[in-house]
Amino acid sequence: MTAAKAGQKVRKVEISRDREGQRLDNFISAQLPGVPRSVIYRVIRKGQVRVNGGRARPDRRLVAGDEVRVPPARVSPSGTKSVPGHVLQKLRASLLVEHEDFVVVDKPAGLAVHGGSGVRWGVVDAMRLIFPEEAVELAHRLDRETSGCLLVARNLKALRQLRAQFKSGSIEKRYFCLTQSRMREDRIVVDEPLEKVERGGEWMVEASPQGKPASTEFRLLQHYGRHSFVEAIPATGRTHQIRVHAAFLGLALAGDSKYGTAKDLKFWQKKGLENLFLHAHGLRFDYPADETWQVNSPLPDNLRAVLDAL
C-alpha cells in the first residue's frame, strides 16, 4: 500500500480549553490518525514533538494555551483504511450504551484496546473513526484476550470524571471466568500486591511484596465437574490482576496461555476454547455525579458453548 504524509509541513496547534488535561501522546495520536503508537512515542522521544518550544514527556498533561509542535508522519492515504471496515461495522453494532459524553462497547476477545507492540490499531482507533471530530479516549483498559464492557469517553470532561472514578475505585467492575481447578469456597478475597517482572524475555505479572496493592473478590457461581464458573470483582485495576490472583489461588483461568500450563491450554483448545475465558460482564458508574449507570454484557456464545460442553 502506498503512503501519504499527514500534512507536508510541521504544524503548531494551540490547545483549546476543551482539550485541557489530555496527555501529550494521546493528543498527538489524535492529530496523526493511522500512525502506529510506536511511531508516536518515537517522535516524542526524539524531540520532534515540542510543547511551548521545549521537549516533553508522553504523559505530560496539556493545558489551555499550550502550543504543540506536530510533525508530519506517514499514514495511510485514508484514515478509514487504518482499521478494517468489517471491524468498524462490528464495533459499531456492539455499542451497549451510546451517550453524548461516553460509549460502552462490548469488546470482542482478540482485539487490543490500543495499538502498539506489533498491533497497528486498537479499539480506541476504531472509536475515533466512528466518532470523528470528538476527543475520544479510553476511560480504562481490558486485556486483548478479555471480552466485554469497555468504557470510552467522547470528550475530556467525561474522561476526567470517569478516570477519577476508576482511580478512586468507585466504579464497580464484574467479570465472569472459568477456572482450571475447582473453587472450594463460596467466596475468596485475595489481597496480594502485584509486580510487573521480566521472565525469559517476556513481561509477566506476579504476586510480590514489592508490588502495587491489588485486591480481587472471587464468588463461586456454579461447578462444572472439576472446574468452576466464577464471578471476579476487582477492587483495583492492575495489569492481569484477575488472571494472576486466580493463579495465585491455584485456580488459573481456562485458556490462559500466560499464567496456565501448556497441558491445560491444549485441554481447553480441544474443548473449543480459542481464547481466555474472562468476560467483563458488568460496569456500574456515575455520570454525571447524580446519575448511576449499570451496564451489562451477556456471556458471548463461544464461552457459553464451552460451559455447555462441560
C-alpha cell at 111: 482485539
For 10, 55, 76, 223, the CA distances from 177, given in Å and listed in that order, are 49, 44, 38, 12
Length of the chain as a residue count:
310
Catalytic residue among 143, 256, 264, 301: 143
% helix / strand / coil in the chain, to the nearest 5? 25, 30, 45
**Residue 184: strand, helix, or coil:** coil
The answer to whether 177 and 259 have CB atoms below 8 angstroms apart is no
Peptide bond into 288 cis (omega under 30): yes
Tell me which amino acid residue 4 is.
Answer: A
The answer to whether 161 and 218 have CB atoms below 8 angstroms apart is no
Helix orientation angle between 24-31 and 37-45, rounded to the nearest 10 degrees: 120
Element (H, E) at 227: strand 227-234
Instruction: Provide the 8-state DSSP code for 23.
Output: B
C-alpha cell at 107: 469488546
Active site residue 143: yes
Helix orientation angle between 85-93 and 123-130, rounded to the nearest 10 degrees: 80
The answer to whether 295 and 184 have CB atoms below 8 angstroms apart is no
- Tell me how crowded residue 1 is: count the other CB atoms within 10 A of its CB: 5
- Name which of 218, 233, 206, 234 is nearest 181 in CA terms: 218
> What are the catalytic residues?
143
